[in-house]
Amino acid sequence: ENNDESVTDRLYMICKLLKDNIDHYDWVGFYFKNEDKEELKLRTYVGEKTDHDIIPFGKGICGQVAISNKNFVVPDVQAQSNYIACSLTVKSEIVIPLFKNGENIGQIDIDSESSDPFTEKDERFLEFVNQEVAKIL
Ligand code: SME
């Protein structure tokens, strides 16, 4: 049964699997759009605790992807002006929108402590992960 709790548990396990198995994935989380509000809410994550469980549309890398519907690969977070820092050890980030029935409903967000680690392979792989996740929502 796809109740909210079991979905969150499964999303957590996906975050953990990704972080534990891919060297350059140091923080992995899923944000989803809040109903009736122009903001994203953190559903589950693995990695350092973050203060940013609510992100307004347009703010930071995540907030920009909520509006653009496009992958956002950031090789160097320090070069971004519209960026929300979660941890000083983070050097790079990738955010891939999650589509359900063609609609951008959320995203997977990954932070890395390596500089410029993300390639098109990560994009294709994480697009696939999100497509699989969409099926259990
Ligand atoms: N860096 C993100 C905020 C979320 S943290 O990475 C967990 C951003 O700029 O949107």
Residue range 35-50, pLDDT digits in tens: 889 999 999 999 999 9
CA of 1 to the centre of ligand 1 (A): 31
Q: Domain residues of the chain, as ranges?
A: 4-136
Question: 4-136 architecture in CATH?
Answer: 2-Layer Sandwich (3.30)
Report ipTM for this prediction.
0.96
Q: Check residue 1 and give its pLDDT.
A: 57
Could you give the residue ranges of the DSSP H alpha helices within 34-92? 60-68
Measured by CA distance, the residue closest to atom 5 of ligand 1 is 86
Measured by CA distance, the residue closest to atom 6 of ligand 1 is 86
Q: Check residue 5 and give its pLDDT.
A: 84
CB 71 within 8 A of CB 123: yes
CB 129 within 8 A of CB 14: yes
CB 51 within 8 A of CB 101: no
Q: Check residue 94 and give its pLDDT.
A: 98
Structure tokens at 128: 């696939």
pLDDT at 4 over 60: yes
Residue of 102, 67, 63 whose CA lies nearest to 83: 63
Pocket of ligand 1 (CB under 6 A): 27, 29, 50, 52, 55, 60-63, 83-84, 86, 93, 109, 111
CA of 52 to the centre of ligand 1 (A): 7
Q: What is the CA radius of gyration of the chain?
A: 14
Average pLDDT, the chain: 96
CA of 42 to the centre of ligand 1 (A): 10
Element (H, E) at 99: strand 92-100
